[in-house]
Amino acid sequence: MRKICFIFGLLVAFGITSCEKEYFEPQGNDSAEAVLEQVNTIFLEYYPSFTIRNVNWSAQYNQAKQNLNSSNDKEVLHQTLLQLLTPLKDGHVALLSENRPAFHGNDKPDDGKFQPELIQNQYIQQELFVSKDKDTEYFYGLLANDIAYIHFKTVYGEWSVLKDLLTQKLPQNKGLIIDLRRNEGGDFTYGLSGLEYLTDQKTYVFRSKTKNGAGPEAFTPWFKWYVQGKRAYTNKIVLITDSYTFSAGERLTMAIRSLPNVVHIGEATSGSTASIMFKELNNGWFIGLPTQIVEDNLGINHEGKGIPPTIKVINSDAGKDLVLETALNQF
């Protein structure tokens, strides 16, 4: 029970509650050399992005074996795995081990350039609503000139608010800003359901295929994803992202950009568009990795690069949200 609680706690702390996960009981040789070899085998079979991330995995693995140097010390193994995984710079690559901080591949400190309180206090003029649920944080309101604004921190059931936001909660709106800065991801299918209320047309938004074996061509067939339109919204929509817009937030970025009345501003997204899978290693640690290739509706793979905005704007001045002001100028 203690181990189960430890694993669950790490996953929650890592922000993973709905991604694809596979768990197996530890079995076989749990020596450091065997675990390193197991990680190599898992990545060769399931990881799809060595080429797009410009990583020579074979060379890295050979170097890792030299670094381990037959040691069976857990700390040496942990450091060796970090040295192996870090060059991928992939936010969906994770290492979870007891009594150590969780590792993921593109961890970076918040630069402080997005300030929700600034928007709530200085830019929203009417109808401010702030969700009290820490698991599904969002807020909305009316900006100047009756422009509706909503910020989503995650991608879960809160996206259903789009069903009534523009017709009942903010019916006087003359346009919509969807802000995905600092979006941590989640389950993109919730977001696709919410977007049904922004179009009355079935809209192709992206496609994905999943690695299912060793070799560079071992993938499932492509699966196409759609927004099933239910209601037209004809006013302009401005989408805002930054370099912290991550995972399911990036899938929703692709989906929103597929609508005809959208302008995308801000910064390119994180560049981690695939879903994550977890494998348990023989020593009880967990390795996380993405297993998919995702292409937008134009056939572009944004993994490792991020989805670029049409209009690039970066905040710099304290006490002012230049990105949001640029968004308002689009109306």
State percent of the chain over pLDDT 90. 81
Q: Which fold has domain 116-271+306-328?
A: 2-enoyl-CoA Hydratase; Chain A, domain 1 (3.90.226)
State the pLDDT at residue 279.
96
Instruction: Identify the pLDDT of residue 29.
Output: 87
How sure is the predictor about 225, in pLDDT bands with cuts at 50, 70 and 90? very high
Task: Kindly state the average pLDDT of the residues 290-309.
Answer: 97
Name the 3-class secondary structure at 41. Answer: helix
Tell me: pLDDT of 61 over 50. yes
What would the mean pLDDT of 65-81 be, rounded to a whole number? 92
Tell me if residue 202 falls in helix, strand or coil: coil
Q: What distance in Å separates the CA atoms of residue 238 and residue 149, rounded to the nearest whole number?
A: 9
Tell me the C-alpha distance between 252 and 195, whole Å: 9
Q: Which of 61-65, 111-115, 242-246 has the lowest mean pLDDT?
A: 111-115
Radius of gyration over every alpha carbon of the chain, rounded to an integer in angstroms = 21
**Euclidean distance between CA atoms 154 and 247, whole angstroms:** 10
Task: Please state, in angstroms and rounded to a whole number, the distance separating the CA atoms of residues 21 and 60.
Answer: 26
**Band of the pLDDT at 8, cuts 50, 70, 90?**
very low
Distance separating alpha carbons of residues 90 and 105, to the nearest angstrom: 5
- For residue range 143-177, what is the model confidence (pLDDT) as tens digits? 999 999 999 999 999 999 999 999 999 999 999 99
DSSP state letters, 132-179: --TTS-EEEEE-GGG-EEEEESSBSGGGGGHHHIIIIISTT-S-EEEE
Decide if pLDDT at 21 tops 60. no
Give the per-residue pLDDT at 316: 79
Q: What is the mean pLDDT of the chain?
A: 91
Tell me the C-alpha distance between 231 and 218, whole Å: 39
Confidence of residue 27 (pLDDT cuts 50, 70, 90): low
Mean pLDDT of 29-51: 95
pLDDT tens track for 120-132: 999 999 999 999 8
- What are the boundaries of each domain within the chain? 2-104, 116-271+306-328
pLDDT band at 69 (very low <50, low <70, confident <90, very high): confident
pLDDT recorded at residue 80:
97
pLDDT for 25 beyond 90 = no
pLDDT of residue 134: 81
User: Which contacts (CB < 8 Å, 24+ apart) does range 295-298 have?
Assistant: 295/206, 295/207, 295/208, 296/205, 296/206, 296/254, 296/257, 296/258, 297/204, 297/205, 297/206, 297/254, 297/258
Whether 141 has a pLDDT exceeding 90, the answer reads yes
CB 278 within 8 A of CB 46: no
Question: pLDDT-derived band of residue 10, with 50, 70 and 90 as boundaries?
Answer: very low
Residues 200-221 have a mean pLDDT of 95
What confidence category does residue 18 fall into, taking pLDDT thresholds of 50, 70 and 90? very low
More confident residue, 29 or 197: 197
- Alpha carbon distance 175, 259 (integer Å): 14
First to last CA, the chain: 56
Encoding tokens for residue 228?
């099933």
Q: What is the pLDDT of residues 179-198, one digit of tens each?
A: 999 999 999 999 999 999 99
pLDDT of residue 106: 80
Q: Is it the case that residue 11 has pLDDT exceeding 70? A: no
Confidence of residue 28 (pLDDT cuts 50, 70, 90): confident
Q: What are the start-end ranges of the E strands in the chain?
A: 94-96, 103-104, 126-130, 138-142, 148-152, 176-179, 203-210, 223-227, 237-241, 262-266, 276-280, 286-290, 292-296, 311-312
